[in-house]
Structure 1
Amino acid sequence: MKIVFVLAMMLLFGVFCFAASAMSVGQQVYGISMNMEINPASQDYLINNINVAEASGYRYFILEITTPGGDSSNMLNMISAIDNYESNYNGTFIVYGISPGVFSAGSLISEAANYIYLQNGSSFGGASPIFSTPEPTYVVQKIMGAYSEMVSSEAALHGRNGTAAGMMVSANVNKTEGGLTYTWQQAISLHVVNGYASNLTQLISMLKSEGIIPPQASVNIVGPSLADQFRYDLSNSTLDALLLDLGFFAILIDLYHPTGILTVVGLVSLALGLYGMGIVGASPIAIILFAIAGAFMFLELKAGHGLFAASGVIISLAALLMLYGEVVIPSVHESPSAPGYFSSQPAFTVVTGVEFGFLAAALGFAVFYLDKVRQALRAKPKLIDNERLIGLTGRASEDFRDGKGTVIVSSEEWSAISSDVIKKGDRVRVTGVNGIILRVEKLAEDSGG
């Protein structure tokens, strides 16, 4: 009976400890800092951390964020993850927007949170979508209307001003004008956000005093890991294109000035560029075109007539245009007191035009350099010059049959032909070469049996 009692007490103690531990974690706050554009890498960063918070039992999540905005599809995935954390896991999600502000897609993501606070001096909004190609008015109205309705619903669901939130996407009923960007005072006055805090310490104190997070909760805001930051840096399309160019040039230079190191650097750069393109979701066609262009450049080393080089340049530029065409530039309106005006802008802007020109010039230089490399390769001595064997002597390693056999010359075995009758062990002299086949004759001292 005593044993049963002891076991029961141990079981109850274990359950109590487990419950206390779970309660302790559940009352803590999981926090991350994100100073990133909205793209596939930042999407993974946020969603992975939300998943970790759920798996570890954290019911409070703080996102400290400043962003210029970014891709709409990644934005929608991030909103969905926040909604799931709040509804399915019953978690409390808090956004703290810091200076200079939370713009475009970032402001729409923020409205999915239970609570939004802004740092003094920051701005919020400017969420008009930017199209990479001109679209008909009805398409613009449809898309802007959908985003406006979405953010209005999210804001209203969390007790904020849905109408004012919707005006961040479009400031007029017809959904043809750009949205508003609010100062932190305007955002609070219109109840687009819940409040403000000068710094994180003040925010935590405020959240505790208002009963949003437990008074005893500890908060630790961490930034992206090295792996997260690495993925984010590689999600830059311009950097990916430069890495591909660097990889190609490094291998090209190593052909002219052999070191071996540059080839390794080139291969690593190519691998990183292709990996980065995978992160940003570059079109497979663009990646294939880059590979074809590189192959054409190397074929030029063999041909030397310029056709392959010209084709490689044209294909590379086409691939770059496709890559830049996938970039979506966030909309940020500088005047918070008046609506910005929607304009359908191509993604290929002055900035990307300069970058494109630089890359085009680099490709032109590569074509010029190809000729130098080709001349250097042609001037190099052959690694295996069989004609050096003419006049050397050796021995037959087998009996010749039908004038064919093998001989050992200069410590190497070679295929050979001869008009003489040659037996294994006979001494022979090389009289000529046919590619990698030696012509030999039997030495006079071994003739006549």
Structure 2
Amino acid sequence: MRHKCRSYLSTFLFFTLLLSQFTGLAYAAGQQKVLVLEISDSITPVSDDIVADAIAFAENDDYEALVITLNTPGGGLDETIDIIEQIAATDVPVIGFVYPEGTKAWSAGTLILISTDIAAMAPYTIIGSAQPVTVTASGTEPVEEAKIVNALVKRATENAKKHDRNQTAAEEFITKNLNLDADTALEYDVIEYVSPTLGDLMSQVDGEEVKGKVLNTDGADITYYEPSLRLAFMNIISNPIVSSLLLLLGVYAIILGISNPGFGAELFGIVAIALGLIGTGFDVNIGALFLIIVGVILLVLEFQAPGFGVFGIAGFVCIIAGSVLLAPTDFPRNYTPAEFQRTLIISVSAPTVILGIFLVFVIYKVFEVRRKRPLFGELIGDSAKALDPIGNGQEGYILHHGQHWKARSSDLIEKGDKVKILEKDGVVLVVEKLEEEDELDK
């Protein structure tokens, strides 16, 4: 009997072990992973670092594919080219996906999309507007220099050719500002898939052969890439609006700090300027910085001068002009449509004007105080109202032009009586009771 129990137990353990191995194999085979990187704003000097980190993450953890979702007005051309080269260099299949519905991937975003191994768009999304433009004082002007345009066209068409996509459309994105919705882009062979969700897209691309690898993405686990704290912080301050505002905020903080030392505003200004410069990748307009520095010097001189005049006005104008020039709108630093570049200028210049008006108000108040006559001289002979009983060695308070003053008197003064200020003894006013006939004479 004991022998039979041991036999049954051995058989049970054998089949349990065999079942667990088959279950583990089946589980492992069905648990493919897909990494998703979201680009949901401008392509900045840190975007290529984030893409590089995500690619390394996908390579090291054996992800089936990397999906880059795009919702961007465009951005830096150098960073865009770097991202395209990284996509071509990695062995991980890279899927570009304009997502979610109703978004866009303009300019630099379009170049990235047509350079991915598989290109897809969600319904009601748009790509295109890749003609390089620059914002000038008279409006927006297309960049027509053949050297620049031909280089962009060649890069776009070669990437389209590499992935068997429409080369004519790739060229017209740049030369004619072509824009396409998802269905038209699919019809014109600019993209391969239209999909409403990531899960649906993973089902559609399942079985595709990319970079010598057959994709097994149907039902795969979707993991969203999270950048490190350093990259996340850099991503925030490298936003063109944020970095430009940091520079301007730092400038005004230094002005106020120099004019009113002791509050640490100048230290805050130095930190803000340093962060702004880091955010722009140190690629700042030297002329703009020169104008802002001159403006700072003029405004500081205005604070030190006896009145409000030409220094303050000139300094304010210099800072406004420099702030507009600081906004990264010139091509190829900022490869975005003209509409976004105008929005960027407004976003930077509007706070500058508001801060400038506030600064003018502060300077005006300083000027007003400087021109004011000494207050104590105006007290003598004025009338006031007693707020406390005063007299017989008792001091009390009086109200003069909305200010409370401590007072004493040789007269007996009741609360509410009118008094006349005779002199000032330290911080105490000497007063006398103002009789009704004296008040009428006055």
TM-score, normalised to structure 1, is 0.61
Alignment match, 2:200: 202
Q: Which secondary structure state, in structure 1, belongs to the residue aligned with residue 199 of structure 2?
A: helix
Gaps of 5+ in 2: 1-24, 373-442
- Aligned partners of 1:347 and 1:186: how far apart in 2? 24
Residues 134, 141 of structure 2: 8 Å contact kept: no
Q: Could you tell me whether the CA contact under 8 Å between 1:34 and 1:224 is conserved in 2?
A: no
Distance 2:322 2:353 in 1: 12
Q: Could you say if the C-alpha distance between residues 77 and 262 of structure 1 is closer, same or farther in structure 2, counting changes exceeding 3 Å? A: same
Does 1:116 pair with 2:119? yes
Shift of 1:347: 9.1
Aligned to 1:15: none
Mapped to 1, the partners of 2:52 and 2:367 lie a distance apart of 50
Q: Per-residue CA shift, 1:319-350, capped at 9, x if unaligned?
A: 22421364457666xxxxxxxxxxxx699748
Instruction: Name the residue aligned to 2:36.
Output: 31
- Report if the CA contact (8 A) 2:114-2:160 is conserved: yes
CA distance in 2, matches of 1:137, 1:257: 46
Amino acid at match of 2:246: L
Structure 1 58/141 Cα, relative in aligned 2: closer, same or farther at 3 Å?
same
Q: 1:112-261, aligned counterparts within 5 Å?
A: 112-132=115-135, 139-170=144-175, 178-210=176-208, 212-214=214-216, 218-224=221-227, 227-250=230-253, 260=263
| Offset at residue 80 of structure 1 (A) | 1.6
Runs of 4+ in 1 over 6 A off after TM superposition: 134-138, 254-259, 345-348, 374-379
Q: Deviations over 1:27-49 (max 9, x none)?
A: 74333111011232323322332
SS class of match (1:214)? coil
For 2:359, the aligned partner's letter is: A
**One-letter code aligned to 1:232:** N
Q: How many residue pairs were aligned?
A: 333
CA distance in 1 between partners of 2:124 and 2:343 (Å): 30
Do 2:80 and 2:108's aligned partners in 1 also have CA atoms closer than 8 Å? yes
**One-letter code of the match for 2:234?**
R
Closer/same/farther in 2, CA of residues 147 and 354 from structure 1, 3 Å limit: closer
The structure-2 alpha-carbon separation of the partners of 1:375 and 1:264, relative to structure 1 and needing over 3 Å to count, comes to farther
Aligned to 1:363: 356
**Kept after mapping to 2: 8 A contact 1:34/1:223:** no
Q: 2: CA distance between counterparts of 1:348 and 1:169?
A: 17
Q: 1:107 Cα deviation (Å)?
A: 1.1
Give the conservation status (yes or no) of the 8 Å contact 1:255–1:373: no
Q: How far has the Cα of 1:120 moved from its partner?
A: 2.0
Alpha-carbon distance between aligned partners in 1 of 2:169 and 2:339, rounded to the nearest angstrom: 28
Question: Residue 287 in 1 paired to residue 289 in 2?
Answer: yes
Q: How far apart, in 1, do the equivalents of 2:250 and 2:275 lie?
A: 9
C-alpha contact 2:259 2:300 (8 A) present in aligned 1: no
- Identify if the C-alpha distance between structure 1 residues 291 and 372 changes in structure 2 by more than 3 Å, giving closer, same or farther: same
Q: Which residue type is aligned with residue 298 of structure 1?
A: V
- Cα RMSD for the two superposed structures: 4.1
Alignment of 1:332-343 (within 5 A): none
Distance in 1 (CA, whole Å) between partners of 2:154 and 2:208 is: 30
In the alignment, is the contact (CA less than 8 A) between 2:133 and 2:141 conserved in 1?
no
| Identity score, percent | 25
Deviation at 1:135, TM superposition (A): 11
1:68 is matched with 73
Deviates more, 1:108-117 or 1:313-322: 313-322
Aligned to 2:422: none
* 2:49 is equivalent to residue 44 of structure 1: yes
